[in-house]
Chains A and B, each alone.
Chain A
Amino acid sequence: MSVKDYIRERFFPHMWCPGCGHGVVLNAMIRAVESLGMSKNEIVMVSGIGCSARISGYVDFHSMHTIHGRALAFATGIKMSRPELNVIVPMGDGDALAIGGNHFLHAARRNIEMTAIVMNNRIYGMTGGQFSPLSGYAAAASTAPYGNIDHGFDIAKLSEAAGATFVARTTTYHVHELTRLIRDAILHEGFSVLEVLTQCPTYFGRYNRAGDAPEMMETYKNRTVAVGSEKKHQDPDLIERGVFVKKELPEYCREYEKVIEKNQQKQT
């Protein structure tokens, strides 16, 4: 197989900056889909606005580029009308949790079967490096030149509390894990959230003196640990990677189908 079988080659080279982590996520996602042996016609990719949202334009699946923060609302409509399709929603941290925060919480609460991939680069890249709800305390951004005074969300905890039945986190450094987790998230029957720590060397890296793309990926390698690792107790600042939640709960579309069936029987 070739990655090229799954992309719209006419749009390449893509518009992302050199070293942008979104490309690594696209790369891993194609490999995950390929390993599942899915046909391109079984997959719908729905995205909102932002650098990360451009991913839907590069893949040769059914795709929909919608409005800022509302990708999950559009995706819900698609899934409700065609539950047999696999819906993947790639989002940025701002798109998912600032502009689309409410949609994100309620999609998770409903447990509708779809895969939300949150590419967390901790900044708004497309609009010029403003701080996002994931930038975190003391991070520098074009709108926080003296350091951010907001505290960041924890996507994994937030998703779990909202009711997502599959929650995981990885980084663009850990590409095999990334491919495996995208695969697991797609296979999960319920709302799955995968947070991917994704480097933005152009804005976040430059403002925060985090170095170029390889250096930012080195940080992902050195400052993250597998979930449940002893190292986390010694150094609480380390970020955990892996699967945090995986549970079975009634799925929204199947429950809705049951309501229809039950009431149709009553009428006949």
Chain B
Amino acid sequence: MAKKKLKAHHIERTWCKGCGICVHFCPKQVLALDEHNIAYPAAPEACICCRMCEYRCPDLAIEVECQET
């Protein structure tokens, strides 16, 4: 299977409620909460495109865009 590479994290800032599920369960500590308590990709270069943040987000606020390499 081709390895996936991150293109971008699309985060709906008005939908995110800052529960921290994505931050807590990210295996590579890519995401963090900003000063407004909204998720943002703090270390996007570490992202392995597992998309667990997208699958677990209760607010449907994250979409991880990946490309095959």
Instruction: Across the interface, name the chain A residue whose C-beta is closest to B51.
Output: A175
**Cβ of A26 under 8 Å from chain B:** yes
Contact A19 B63 (CB under 8 A): no
**Chain B residues near A17 (CB, 8 Å)?**
17
Contact B55 A28 (CB under 8 A): yes
**Chain B residues near A13 (CB, 8 Å)?**
12, 14-17, 59, 61
The answer, among A3, A12, A24, for a CB contact under 8 Å with B56, is A24
Question: Given the known A-B contacts A175-B52, A214-B25, A217-B25, are A14 and B19 also in contact in the complex, defined by CB atoms under 8 Å?
Answer: no
Contact A18 B55 (CB under 8 A): no
B1-54, CB < 8 A from A: 12, 14-21, 23-25, 52
Inter-chain CB contacts under 8 Å: number: 74
Contact B52 A26 (CB under 8 A): no
**Cβ of B66 under 8 Å from chain A:** no
Instruction: Across the interface, name the chain B residue whose C-beta is closest to A179.
Output: B55
Contact B55 A2 (CB under 8 A): no
Q: Would you give the 0/1 interface string for A34-57, flagging 1 where the beta carbon is closer than 8 Å to chain B?
A: 000000000000000000000000
Question: Given the known A-B contacts A212-B19, A212-B20, A217-B21, are A16 and B56 also in contact in the complex, defined by CB atoms under 8 Å?
Answer: no
The answer, among A12, A176, A213, A217, for a CB contact under 8 Å with B55, is A176
**Chain B residues near A14 (CB, 8 Å)?**
59-60
Instruction: Across the interface, name the chain A residue whose C-beta is closest to B57.
Output: A27
Chain A contact residues: helix, strand, loop or mixed: helix
Counting chain A residues whose Cβ lies within 8 A of the other chain, the interface size class is 20 to 34
- Within the complex, the shortest CB–CB distance from B37 to chain A, in Å, comes to 9
Contact A24 B58 (CB under 8 A): yes
Cα distance A201–B19 in the bound complex, in angstroms: 10
Q: Would you give the 0/1 interface string for A1-13, flagging 1 where the beta carbon is closer than 8 Å to chain B?
A: 0111001000011
**Cβ of A23 under 8 Å from chain B:** yes
**Chain A residues near B56 (CB, 8 Å)?**
24, 27, 172-173, 175, 217
A129-159, CB < 8 A from B: none
The answer, among A2, A3, A23, for a CB contact under 8 Å with B58, is A23
Contact A23 B52 (CB under 8 A): no
Interface residues of A (CB under 8 A from B): 2-4, 7, 12-14, 16-24, 26-28, 30-31, 172-173, 175-176, 179, 201, 212-214, 217
20 pairs across A/B with beta carbons < 8 Å?
A7-B60, A12-B15, A12-B60, A13-B12, A13-B15, A13-B61, A16-B58, A17-B17, A18-B18, A18-B19, A19-B17, A22-B58, A24-B56, A27-B57, A27-B60, A172-B58, A175-B52, A176-B55, A179-B55, A217-B25
Interface residues of B (CB under 8 A from A): 12, 14-21, 23-25, 52, 55-61, 63
